[in-house]
A and B are shown apart, each in its own frame.
Chain A
Amino acid sequence: MIWSTIISRGIQYSALWWILADGNLTSWWIGVPAVLFAVITSVILFPPATNLRWFEILKFIPFFLFRSLLGGIDVARRAFHPNLPIAPNLIEYPLLLPPGLPQVLMINIASLLPGTLITELNQSVLRVHVLDSQKDFLTELISVEQRVARIFGISLDTSLK
């Protein structure tokens, strides 16, 4: 378990170094120690407790890119529109995701999606500022929460919402 984390992080950080050094071969004299120290630090600061589902992350990327593009188009349209068609409101959304990384990821993603901006997280209840309270933001938030849950291999019972 710990070794698979060390190996996968080592590969990721090596790729990062390769990008930063523009593929320069002689730079690995500094790169190899830098990658080693980065792996050691990351294992201490962020222990390999969570088991990420890489396939779910891959499935999530196109969904996120498309939704955030729609988010940009939506807000751009409202900013350019002469009548400024916005009807903001502050709503509460109880999270089913466990505290820690899953909730942090959810907050960061939801702020880039159409019409929602996370303002506060208090005891697993999100306070969400919505740009247009007539829009169906609830379906959006539920679908993001379920996708984040799948990345961490958690199953959620959203029938209560």
Chain B
Amino acid sequence: MTLIDYLSTILLIAGALFFLAGTLGLLRFPDIYTRLHALTKADNVGLGLIVIGLALQSESLASAGKLILIWLLVMFAGASVSNLIASGALQRGIRLWKR
């Protein structure tokens, strides 16, 4: 294994941990709003790390660019969709959980 291989292994494992954290948050957090926090933010970082880890292994600049493009699209989709779900929940009068 080369140095690049080690680096992308670390990034891929770290990315998987963030996905695990996002899923754990989805299960453990008490209401829809806090769950959205976990999903949008942790999964965005997880995908970012996985994309960088895979881009290091890609054969051409174009395929690395394609991976980054996927990340950007998922990031925009994630932010907009979480905003839509949250505003929909507010309009339906779903109360937020407070400590």
Q: Which residues of A contact B (CB under 8 A)?
A: 16, 18-23, 65, 68-69, 71-76, 78-80, 84, 86-90, 107-109, 111-112, 114-115, 117-120, 127, 129, 131
Contacts and interface: CB of A to CB of B under 8 A. Distances in A.
B20 to A, nearest CB: 8
B62 A23 contact: yes
B60 A71 contact: no
A80 B60 CA distance: 37
A19 B37 contact: no
A120 B87 contact: yes
B83 A75 contact: no
Nearest to A21: B62
A37 to B, nearest CB: 19
Max count, chain A CB within 10 A of own CB: residue among B28, B37, B45, B79: B37
Contact of B86 (A69, A71, A120): A120
A16 B69 CA distance: 9
Contact of A117 (B25, B33, B75): B33
A131 B45 contact: no
B37 A117 contact: yes
A6 to B, nearest CB: 22
Contacts of A18: 62, 65
A68 B44 contact: yes
Interface string B70-99: 000001101110110011011000001111
